Amino acid sequence: MKKNSNFLRLGFATALVFTILSCKQTNKAETEVVKEEAILDSTDLALLELTLPDGFEIKVFARGVDGARSMAMGDNGTLFVGTRNENTVYAIQDTNGDYVADKVMVLDTMQVPNGIAARNGDLYVAQVGSLWKYPAIEDNLKGTPIKELVYDDYPTEFHHGWKYIAFGPDDKLYVPVGAPCNICNRTDEDERFATITRMDPDGSNREIYAKGVRNSVGFTWHPESGDMWFTDNGRDMLGDDIPPCELNHVTEAGQHFGYPFCHGGIIKDPEFGDEHPCSGFVPPALQLGAHVAPLAIKFYTGSMFPKEYQGKAFIAEHGSWNRSKKVGYRIMMVNVENGEASDSKPFIDGWLNEEAQEASGRPVDILWLKDGSMLISDDYGDAIYRVTYSDTALAAK
């Protein structure tokens, strides 16, 4: 792993024993771990190019997880992973507790199962227009899983239709409905477009929680205030440098965050901007880079990382797809105090070779393990990574 003047290259290249898991799985299957002396593959080599702060290390937790995106942890330690284009829901286990997965199971196959959430032993999986519940999922990992339909009446437009879902501190399930376009106003057809909705776990008592949200694929709640914070992907086709993507802070239900009229709190949309001024909307808590495609956001509350990382917000930037020079492809860290966000800087960088303009990974979701380490899903590298911190003499140099 690369380090700059304040960073240290670790001796990662000498570690040649890795868990080898099967790649594409189209039928329900379970792959047992096979450990062997192996040459570093492209995923491992990509990790060597990453830059992390002193004392931090990143390794593969699970490989062969094609298109790994949203993650949720079961009560008994099973990691569930959704996908977008791969139509697969995975169940991943580390049965011997060595922090390397030794079972990667295809739990189910379904269309666009991007959204994953766990609650009281049950697993919730969101497709574009429907939501399923798998009761007592970790007791039913073998054979055909039992699932119950929660709803099937959400919009079915695929454009920004894949879901990121999570349960809030109010025990409500939050489900976004992205704008079905790059830029449009279709709330007259369905008021749920470009919003974040919420509901009871059984799908009842639905309501719109936040409006004017183009495409949020990541949100969380502040560990102290309980307020929601969410990322939003800015519109395309206004050039390389505008508009900024956004980090937003919800302080009360029903707030409007500008789309499609205003972007980044300051940029009037050329098509819809004359209808409502930017001053009428909630501005972003922080403007992020244009086209960086921010997805997951999670606050650190664990005990492994140093004290100065407590309460920091970590954001996965999936990376640009239509910019003349690529940006993003990294994990950012943001300082959040008293409801204000500031001091955004890279925490893990290097999945993008800027000179060659080639990417080796695209981080999607972030999840904290009980020991305080960080899991990162990568839908380009088809893997889950684990980031740890060790306050060693070597790291302190």
- Domain limits, the chain: 12-396
User: Which of 148, 204, 138, 212 has the alpha carbon at shortest distance from 172?
Assistant: 204
Q: Using the 8-state DSSP alphabet, how is residue 395 labeled?
A: H
Q: What pLDDT score does 142 carry? A: 87
Give the dihedral sign, CA 95/99/101/107: positive
Asked if residue 115 lies in contact with residue 162, where contact means CB atoms within 8 angstroms, the answer is yes
| The pLDDT of residue 35 | 36
Second-level CATH architecture of 12-396: 6 Propeller (2.120)
CA distance 379 to 395: 30
* 387, 373 contact by CB (below 8 A): yes
What separation in angstroms does the CA of 81 have from each of 68, 119, 270?
6, 15, 39
Residue 357 phi/psi, 5-degree rounding, is 55, 45
Residues of the chain with pLDDT below 70 are: 1-40, 392-397
- Compute the distance between CA of residue 380 and CA of residue 43 in angstroms, rounded to an integer: 10
Q: Which contacts of 221-224 are long-range, i.e. CB under 8 A and separated by 24 or more positions?
A: 221/168, 221/169, 222/299, 222/336, 223/299, 223/301, 223/311, 224/311
Distance (Å, whole) CA 318 – CA 379: 9
Q: What's the pLDDT at 43?
A: 80
Tokens representing residue 308 in the block? 């100065």
Residue 40 confidence (pLDDT): 62
The pLDDT value given to residue 391: 77
Position 355 scores a pLDDT of 94
pLDDT at 2: 54
Q: Which pLDDT value is given to residue 99?
A: 97
pLDDT of residue 144: 87
Coil/strand/helix, residue 394: helix
Q: Which has the closest alpha carbon to 315: 352, 344, 282, 358?
A: 344
State what percent of residues in the chain have pLDDT above 70: 88
Start-to-end C-alpha separation, the chain? 16
Its pTM stands at 0.90
